[in-house]
């Protein structure tokens, strides 16, 4: 999907109250991994609840290009006929990862220790994003990478024919980099060790164990030390993908700021490496009840009952929480605009290298909507205007970024005047049913 998509402007107007049940789609991180681990296992993996967003569809296509059989049986129901660790065949064409940094970085990892050449590209957003953070550790295995200036796509990787195992301390808190190294370590002899100072989402570790790899996680004073035994026989699994807590954050936050709302969002992950946004919202005074806690698809989940919360206060978000809510700062900055007092988000410079520079995109858009913002390289500060206080009345640029588009549309559901986005088309990458789901709750959205 690297070709130019036609821009789809969209406008959100004062809405609600939002009521009903918001059943969000499958988790994006787990969906990518189900296809990739399935492709590297022996036998047929069955996946239910797969997110059929464009990012994941691009990963499905890539796994086929490496020789796996990937078949859609019905909505969210897929099978993957794996080729085993080291069993990939060289792709005959360029691997197009569309908008997806997770797809690109994880797939680079999984081919990096097999003797083959693959060329990667993506859309205009992905072609701006740094890949050196992945190719640096992959070069320690013996992989060679030839990309554009600054380690940008398009990029060709030559997999290591005789890979050496690696010990690597992550210089940035990134689950994508951690996962790329672990995936490369699968086809290296001996033990590959990844050390992370701050815990990041742990889906790769959980799923690798589920697929039969030997992996040990130890907490030391260096941080989490993850040790993977190379060349395991991964065995096909049944993967039930739980709902995506990052997607759930959009209807949850909409209900918090739209007056009179009362919604239920079932099956939201409470995995400690993903739930930072929910802890933060509760600290701000959000009325969220966590009902029926249980396990689904190997993840702890709860049903969230969310009511309009007119008494939310700005807070200082602890920087150490950033990895567990890294994708939720854009929507948090919208909620912060409807709280009273200021919300301070520090330690967030990773937001500058996401699908867009999310600090800049949110700062410029919120300012255009009448909100006072302060920012520096690593910080975003939002001066809240209280419930219903945001003037709105602006068109915000989404920069090919699904979460920026959804964040401003949610803001427009509660601002005084409507808010438009210049392009809502990227929403299909992660939350293809966003428009219909929000409209069914009572949101006023119009394609313009």
Residue 174 found at the interface with ligand S3P (CB under 6 A) = yes
What are the structure tokens assigned to 112, written together? Answer: 């990096």
Shorter beta-carbon distance to ligand S3P: residue 240 or 326: 326
**Catalytic, out of 327, 357, 376, 423:** 327
Least distance (Å) between residue 126 CB and ligand S3P:
12
Q: Please report whether residue 201 would count as binding ligand S3P according to CB under 6 A.
A: yes
Question: Nearest 5°: phi and psi at 104?
Answer: -60, -50
Which residue in 176, 309, 356, 429 binds ligand S3P (CB under 6 A)? 176
Q: What's the burial of 150, exposed, middle or buried (CB within 10 Å: 0-12/13-18/19+)?
A: exposed
Listed in sequence order, the residues at least 6 apart from 86 whose beta carbon sits closer than 8 Å to its beta carbon are 113, 114, 187, 231
Binding of ligand S3P by 58 (CB under 6 A)? no
**Binding flag, residue 59, ligand S3P (CB under 6 A):** no
State yes or no: residue 123 binds ligand S3P (CB under 6 A): no
Nearer to ligand S3P, 129 or 337 (CB): 129
Stretches 39-47, 175-183, 334-342, 418-426: which one binds ligand S3P (CB under 6 A)?
A: 175-183
CA 429 to chain centre: 10
Two tokens, residue 66? 């490496």
**321: contact with ligand S3P by CB under 6 A:** no
Q: State the minimum distance, in angstroms, from the CB of residue 157 to ligand S3P.
A: 18
- Taking residues 337 to 356 in sequence order and writing x for each that binds ligand S3P by CB under 6 A, - otherwise, the string is -------------x------
Nearest to 243 by CA among 283, 301, 288, 192: 301
Kindly state the number of chain residues that form the binding site for ligand S3P, as judged by CB under 6 A: 10
Q: Is 438 in the site for ligand S3P (CB under 6 A)?
A: no
Q: Is 99 in the site for ligand S3P (CB under 6 A)?
A: no
Question: Residue 167 half-sphere exposure, CB side, CA atoms within 13 Å?
Answer: 3
- Enter the tokens of residue 400: 């090919």
C-beta of 260: minimal distance to ligand S3P in Å? 32
Which of 85-93, 168-176, 219-227, 295-303 is the region at the interface with ligand S3P (rule: CB under 6 A)? Answer: 168-176
Tally the C-alpha atoms within 13 A of residue 108's C-alpha that lie toward its C-beta. 37
Residue 436: which residues within 8 A CB-CB, separation 6 or more?
none
Catalytic residue list contains 327 = yes
Least distance in Å: CB of 179 to ligand S3P?
6
155 or 326, CB closer to ligand S3P? 326
At closest approach, how far in Å is the CB of 102 from ligand S3P?
4
* Residue 305, φ and ψ in degrees, nearest 5: -100, 125
If one asks whether residue 269 binds ligand S3P (CB under 6 A), the answer comes out as no
**Under 8 Å between Cβ of 313 and 336:** no
Tokens of 233: 């026989």
- The helix/strand/coil state of 385 is coil
Q: How many CA atoms lie within 13 A of 48 on its CB side?
A: 4
Running DSSP on this structure, what letter comes out for residue 369? T
| Spatial distance between the Cα atoms of 204 and 134, rounded to a whole number of angstroms | 16
Cβ at position 327, least distance to ligand S3P in Å: 5
Q: What is the number of residues in the chain?
A: 448
Strand pairing category for 42-48 and 238-240: parallel
Q: Are 430 and 26 in contact (CB under 8 A)?
A: no
Pick the closer one to ligand S3P by CB: 176 or 309: 176
| Angstrom distance (rounded) from CA 245 to CA 239 | 17
429: contact with ligand S3P by CB under 6 A = no
Interaction mask 20-49, ligand S3P, x per CB under 6 A: ---------x--------------------
| 186 is a contact residue toward ligand S3P (CB under 6 A) | no
The one among 55, 96, 299, 327 contacting ligand S3P by CB under 6 A: 327
Q: What is the largest CA-CA distance in the chain?
A: 62
List the structure tokens of 129.
Answer: 């994003």
Question: Does position 135 bind ligand S3P by CB under 6 A?
Answer: no
Q: How far is the CB of 176 from ligand S3P (least distance, A)?
A: 3
From 102, 187, 269, 270, residue interacting with ligand S3P (rule: CB under 6 A):
102
**Of 38-46, 174-182, 230-238, 432-440, which part binds ligand S3P (CB under 6 A)?**
174-182
CB atoms within 10 A of CB 344: 16
Q: How far is the CB of 181 from ligand S3P (least distance, A)?
A: 12
The residue (of 349 and 383) whose beta carbon lies closer to ligand S3P is 349
What is the spatial distance between Cα 85 and Cα 230, in angstroms, rounded to a whole number?
10
Q: Which residues bind ligand S3P (CB under 6 A)?
A: 29, 102, 174-176, 179, 201, 326-327, 350
Catalytic residues: 327
């Amino acid at each position: 999907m690297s070709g130019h998509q036609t821009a789809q402007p969209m406008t959100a107007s004062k809405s609600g109250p939002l009521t009903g049940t918001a059943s969000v789609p499958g988790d994006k991180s787990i969906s990518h991994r189900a296809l990739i681990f399935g492709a590297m296992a022996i036998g047929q993996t069955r996946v239910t609840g797969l997110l059929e967003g464009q990012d994941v569809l691009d990963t499905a296509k890539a796994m086929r290009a490496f020789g796996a059989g990937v078949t859609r049986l019905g909505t969210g129901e897929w099978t993957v006929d794996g080729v085993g660790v080291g069993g990939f065949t060289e792709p005959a064409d360029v691997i197009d990862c569309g908008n997806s940094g997770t797809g690109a970085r994880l797939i680079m990892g999984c081919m990096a220790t097999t003797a083959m050449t693959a060329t990667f590209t993506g859309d205009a957003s992905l072609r701006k994003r740094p890949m050196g953070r992945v190719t640096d550790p992959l070069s320690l295995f013996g992989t060679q990478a030839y990309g554009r200036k600054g380690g940008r796509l398009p990029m060709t990787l030559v997999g290591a024919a005789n890979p050496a195992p690696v010990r690597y301390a992550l210089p940035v808190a990134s689950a994508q980099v951690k996962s790329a190294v672990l995936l490369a370590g699968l086809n290296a002899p001996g033990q590959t060790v990844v050390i992370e100072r701050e815990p990041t989402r742990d889906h790769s570790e959980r799923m690798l164990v589920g697929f039969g790899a030997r992996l040990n996680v130890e907490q030391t004073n260096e941080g989490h030390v993850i040790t993977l035994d190379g060349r395991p026989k991964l065995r096909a699994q049944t993967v039930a993908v739980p709902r995506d807590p990052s997607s759930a954050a959009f209807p949850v936050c909409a209900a918090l700021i739209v007056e009179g709302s009362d919604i239920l969002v079932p099956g939201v992950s409470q995995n400690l490496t993903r739930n930072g946004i929910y802890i933060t919202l509760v600290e701000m005074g959000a009325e969220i009840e966590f009902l029926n806690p249980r396990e689904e698809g190997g993840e702890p989940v709860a049903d969230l009952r969310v009511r309009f919360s007119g008494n939310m206060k700005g807070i200082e978000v602890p920087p150490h929480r950033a990895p567990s809510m890294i994708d939720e700062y854009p929507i948090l900055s919208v909620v912060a605009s409807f709280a009273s007092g200021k919300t301070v988000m520090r330690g967030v410079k990773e937001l500058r290298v996401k699908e867009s520079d999310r600090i800049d995109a949110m700062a410029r858009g919120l300012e255009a909507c009448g909100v006072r913002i302060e920012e520096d390289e690593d910080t975003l500060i939002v001066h809240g205007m209280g419930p219903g206080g945001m003037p709105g009345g602006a068109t915000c640029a989404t920069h090919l970024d699904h979460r920026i588009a959804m964040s401003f549309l949610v803001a427009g559901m509660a601002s005084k005047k409507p808010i438009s986005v210049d392009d809502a088309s990227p929403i299909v990458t992660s939350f293809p049913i966003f428009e219909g789901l929000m409209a069914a709750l009572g949101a006023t959205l119009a394609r313009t």
